[in-house]
C-alpha cells in the first residue's frame, strides 16, 4: 500500500492535439514547486499527475502544488492492487480516522469503476462498501445529500481510496499563453491583476514606477515584497524599476495641473511598452478598474490606451473594490499592499484631476514636452532585479 497525491487538472483536458504540451508544462511546474523538498517523485499517468509521498511531507507538498496554475484539486490517497476486501477495509479505516479526528457522524461512499473488467458496477461498490462500514462502526449514518465526509473509491489499473479533495486555483499552466509586462504598484489592485493573467498561463514580469527620493526606499521594498509573493504562483519575475520623478517635474512645470495624473499615466504606458518590446512581452497588464480613481474613467482609459499599440489587459476592469480585496486576501497580497507607504501617484497630485480628458487636448499638452528624451532617460536609469523565492 502506497501513499500518493492524486493531482487533477480540468481545462487542459479540452486542448485536443495540444493536450500533451499543456500536461508537460504542468508536470514541469509541479516538479519545480517541490524540487527543494528532497527526492519527490512526480509523474503523469492516465490524464493525471501523481506524487509519491511520505506522511511527513504530504502537507507541505499539497500547500505548494495547489498554487500551481492548472491544478484543479489534490487528493491524498492510498493506492494498492485491486482487491475488493482490501478496498472495504481501507475505506473503513479512513472513515474511522475521520470519526476520531473530526467526530463525523454521517458519510457517503462515492465509487468509480474505470476498469470495466471489475465485476461490480460503481453503485454496487458504493452499496457494499457503505454496508461494510455501517456493520463495523457505531453512531454513524449514511447521508447521501449532505454527508460530513465522503469516502471516494476508484478502481483503475489499481485501487485508490481517499476522503479529501484540496482545491487549487485551476487555470492553465504558466508559460502556455505568452508573456506580458505587469505595471506593478504598491497598491491592492495590480498584484491581483497580474495573478489573474498569470492564472491563464501568461508568464509575467513587473515594472514599477517610483519618484525617489520623493517616495521612500521602503515603498520600493514593498513592491519587491509583493513581487516575491507573486513568485509563489508565477515563478521567477524580473522587476524593472523606473524613476518617474524627472518626467513628473517636467509635466508639473509645463502642463496644466489637472492633467498631471493622465499625462504621467501615458508616460508609464509608453515606457512599459518600450521595455515590453525589448524583452519579448506581447501585452501590458494593469490593475485598472472602471471609475475607481480619476484616471480610470472610460474617457481616461481611452486616453491612456491611446499611448500604446500593445494590447493592454485589465482583468479587474469590471470588478468592485470589495471583490478585488477579497481576492487579494485569498492570494496573500492584501496585508502587504495596505502597508502605508506612498507611491509615485501621490507626488504632484492635482487638487482637481481631469476626469473627462479629451485626447486632442492631452496630445497638445504632451507636445510641450520632450517625450522621447524623457522616456529614453528614464529607461537608461532603469534598475532590473530578478525576484525569486530562492532570494529568501
Name the E strands within the chain. 2-9, 41-45, 48-52, 71-80, 106-113, 141-142, 149-155, 159-162, 166-167, 179-183, 203-210, 237-243, 283-285, 312-313, 383-387
Neighbours of 310 (CB within 10 A): 17
* Residue 258 three-state SS: helix
Q: Rounded to whole angstroms, how far apart are CA atoms 179 and 144?
A: 46
Name the E strands within 134-288. 141-142, 149-155, 159-162, 166-167, 179-183, 203-210, 237-243, 283-285
Whether 209 has a binding-site annotation, put simply, is yes
Whether 296 has a binding-site annotation, put simply, is yes
Q: Rounded to whole angstroms, how far apart are CA atoms 282 and 270?
A: 14
Q: Rounded to whole angstroms, how far apart are CA atoms 29 and 59?
A: 18
> Which grid coordinates are listed for 351?
487638487
Query: 38: left (phi > 0), else alpha (psi -120 to 50), else beta?
Result: left
> Which grid coordinates are listed for 94?
479512513
Whether 162 has a binding-site annotation, put simply, is no
* Cross-strand pairs, 209: 242
Whether 184 has a binding-site annotation, put simply, is yes
Whether the CB-CB separation of 10 and 72 falls below 8 Å is answered with yes
Whether 287 has a binding-site annotation, put simply, is yes
∠ at Cα 22 (276, 112), nearest 5°? 145
Angle at which helix 321-330 crosses helix 189-199, to 10 degrees, equals: 70
Q: Rounded to whole angstroms, how far apart are CA atoms 336 and 326?
A: 14
Whether the CB-CB separation of 96 and 140 falls below 8 Å is answered with no
Annotated binding-site residue numbers: 183-184, 208-209, 265, 287, 296
Annotated binding-site residue numbers for ATP: 183-184, 208-209, 265, 287, 296
Amino acid at each position: 500500500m502506497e501513499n500518493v497525491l492524486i493531482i487533477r487538472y480540468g481545462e487542459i483536458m479540452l486542448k485536443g492535439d495540444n493536450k500533451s504540451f499543456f500536461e508537460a508544462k504542468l508536470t514541469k511546474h509541479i516538479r519545480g514547486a517541490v524540487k527543494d523538498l528532497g527526492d519527490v517523485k512526480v509523474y503523469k499517468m492516465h490524464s493525471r499527475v501523481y506524487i509519491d509521498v511520505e506522511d511527513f511531507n504530504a502537507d507541505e507538498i499539497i500547500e505548494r502544488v495547489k498554487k500551481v496554475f492548472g491544478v484543479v484539486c489534490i487528493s491524498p490517497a492510498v493506492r494498492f492492487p485491486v482487491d475488493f476486501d482490501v478496498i472495504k477495509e481501507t475505506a473503513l479505516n479512513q472513515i474511522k480516522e475521520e470519526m476520531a479526528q473530526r467526530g463525523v457522524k454521517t458519510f457517503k461512499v462515492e465509487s468509480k469503476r474505470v476498469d470495466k473488467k471489475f465485476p461490480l458496477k460503481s453503485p454496487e461498490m458504493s452499496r457494499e462498501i457503505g454496508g461494510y462500514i455501517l456493520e463495523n462502526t457505531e453512531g454513524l449514518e449514511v447521508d447521501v445529500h449532505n454527508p460530513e465526509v465522503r469516502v471516494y473509491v476508484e478502481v483503475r489499473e489499481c485501487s485508490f481510496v481517499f476522503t479529501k479533495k484540496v482545491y487549487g486555483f485551476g487555470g492553465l499552466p504558466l508559460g502556455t499563453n505568452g508573456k506580458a509586462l505587469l505595471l506593478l504598484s504598491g497598491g491592492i489592485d495590480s498584484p491581483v491583476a497580474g495573478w489573474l493573467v498569470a492564472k491563464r498561463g501568461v508568464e509575467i514580469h513587473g515594472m514599477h514606477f517610483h519618484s525617489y527620493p520623493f517616495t521612500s526606499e521602503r515603498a520600493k521594498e514593498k513592491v519587491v515584497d509583493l513581487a516575491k509573493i507573486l513568485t509563489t504562483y508565477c515563478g521567477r519575475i524580473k522587476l524593472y524599476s523606473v524613476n518617474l520623478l524627472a518626467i513628473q517635474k517636467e509635466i508639473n512645470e509645463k502642463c496644466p495641473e489637472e492633467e498631471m495624473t493622465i499625462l504621467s499615466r501615458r508616460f508609464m504606458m509608453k515606457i512599459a511598452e518600450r521595455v515590453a518590446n525589448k524583452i519579448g512581452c506581447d501585452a501590458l497588464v494593469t490593475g485598472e478598474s472602471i471609475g475607481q480613481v480619476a484616471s480610470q474613467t472610460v474617457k481616461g482609459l481611452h486616453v491612456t490606451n491611446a499611448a500604446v499599440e500593445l494590447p493592454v489587459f485589465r482583468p479587474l476592469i469590471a470588478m468592485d473594490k470589495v471583490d478585488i480585496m477579497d481576492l487579494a486576501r485569498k492570494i496573500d497580497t492584501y496585508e502587504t499592499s495596505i502597508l502605508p507607504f506612498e507611491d509615485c501617484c501621490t507626488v504632484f497630485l492635482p487638487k482637481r484631476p481631469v476626469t473627462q480628458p479629451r485626447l486632442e487636448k492631452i496630445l497638445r499638452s504632451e507636445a510641450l514636452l520632450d517625450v522621447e528624451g524623457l522616456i529614453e532617460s528614464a529607461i537608461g536609469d532603469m534598475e532590473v532585479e530578478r525576484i525569486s523565492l530562492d532570494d529568501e
